[in-house]
Structure 1
Amino acid sequence: MKPRLGETRHAGTGRGAKPYLTSDAPALRVTANLISAYASLSLGRTAPARKCLQRPIDDAESAAPDELLPAFGACVPSTLLHLSAYRTQSLGDIFAQLPEGLRLCTCHMPAHRHHLDGNYERSVGIIHGAQAMAGFAYVIPGIYLGIMESIDLMALKRIDEAKSVFMRTRQIALPDGLIEGFGEHHGLLSGLIEACLKRDYPEDYRRAIDITHRFSSGWRRLHGPITEKDVADNLTTTEFSVAMLINRGWTNHEVAQLLGVSENTIKYHLTHAYEKLHIRGRKELGQYMLR
């Protein structure tokens, strides 16, 4: 079977990073391992991804307290896997010494952690501070910060603002075709991909969902054994989005309005989700949703 474009792209990325995975240069080593980990997850290669995420943690444990990159690199796996933040105090101590672009990347991690802890307003505050620091001069950090803000605003039910930030972030990503971050955050975006792209930008929607399927499959195989928590892996992307919103306290009517469908359609998706998860109702959804 001929590989799809996304698979070819990720395979090429992994090959490009491979020579630097054990480089003597800390910047190259950290960057290569993180890039390779994301590429491996998108290709369903769990063992190489786990190894590449572990190296920055190992480097941080043996590094001096004031070394910059090991502390940064060790925080990324904890964010990606929704684990407790790693060496956050050390990272805070060296924040001012990091290059500007890397400081923006670093801001994404405490923002993400505050979101997972339910501190949505604090997460938004961190993001706005980062954007004020450098605007959108750095494309990739700008994309991930914009995605994180969209996620926070959805959690706060500030739906129009969330859609506006999401579409503004899409405009930043468009020139270079950097749609990966949207697919990687599909579950946490809680229906925004469906609401903003499915009808008006079907090609972008298809690409984002393809990335979602590939990345999420690898992420779940890595996340589950480490955290001993199962995230649903047998739902369609729409079923998962609906289930995420319902689990967060949204009503069927609110979800239907967001996705532009009828309440009966929402009930249909929920019924199928319950059947697949072998549960009886929304009270049992929490154990299978992202936290």
Structure 2
Amino acid sequence: GSTPIANEHGTAPGIFMRVERADAGACLIFALPGVPTEMRPMWEQSVAPAILAARGEARVIHHRRIKCFGVGESQLEAMLPDLIRRGREPSVGITVSDATITLRITAAGVDDAECYAAMEPTIAIIRESVATLAYGEEEDELEDVVSRLLVERGQTVAVAEWATGGLVSQALARTAAASTVFAGGVVLSSLTQLQSLLRVPDVLSLSANPNVSAVAMEAAIAVRNMAGADYGIGIAAFPPEPDRPAAHVCISITTPQRTRRLRFGSATHPAIRQARAAKQALNALRLILLSQLGDI
């Protein structure tokens, strides 16, 4: 038979049942009401202690997440020596969201210290294997890392973007140090706007095609000068056929001393095209701030 589990915050009791199995140990079955205010106290007072008693020793589980950007999931997995293997301890899971790859390391132990100690060798292998592809941990996004690097250097950035539709500016504006590091942003949708908003003279002499490197470069230089920033990011338009194998988006990052002209492949799922291009721009600035990026 079953045993009721007391519910001090409602009328529906829980149910506990122990089922003996001939070919394995006993199976413990718990059924609780779904209302969170009722379920949580019942879990803490009855279910969790029963599970711990059945296990014979207290066990805790901890996770750490390492965020990566710059290659595809299969490429990154190939860099990791047997870390994603099923049954490995600590385990390493891999997920992708809007071109950001998250590696989640999971370890179990008798206490927090044992879990974290068990994870450290795996984390060291990951960081050595992927190098600067790993940009942060836990809740870090690329804009958070860029913002911290700019704060450390006492520098600022301004953005003029076309293909990304304001996503880079939005990301930087959301960071904790936005008022300190983000000097301003301009969203473009025509060459005429490049001329009227950023005062780029004779813009049509650059090219009638808005997805060329010259457009990104002039936008970067103009927005940096307009905002008085240390860095200027310029992002040109996507090409007319962005999914062709040779298609790319042009991004330029400029300082008073140097202008970098970069190109990144634009072929990807349409749902993440803008987000990936925005992250490519932020990641390029991150690598420049770390002095790890030349011209592409």
What band does the TM-score fall into relative to the shorter chain?
under 0.3
Pick the structure with more helix per residue. Answer: 1
TM-score, normalised with respect to structure 1: 0.22
Larger radius of gyration: 2
Pick the structure with more strand per residue. Answer: 2
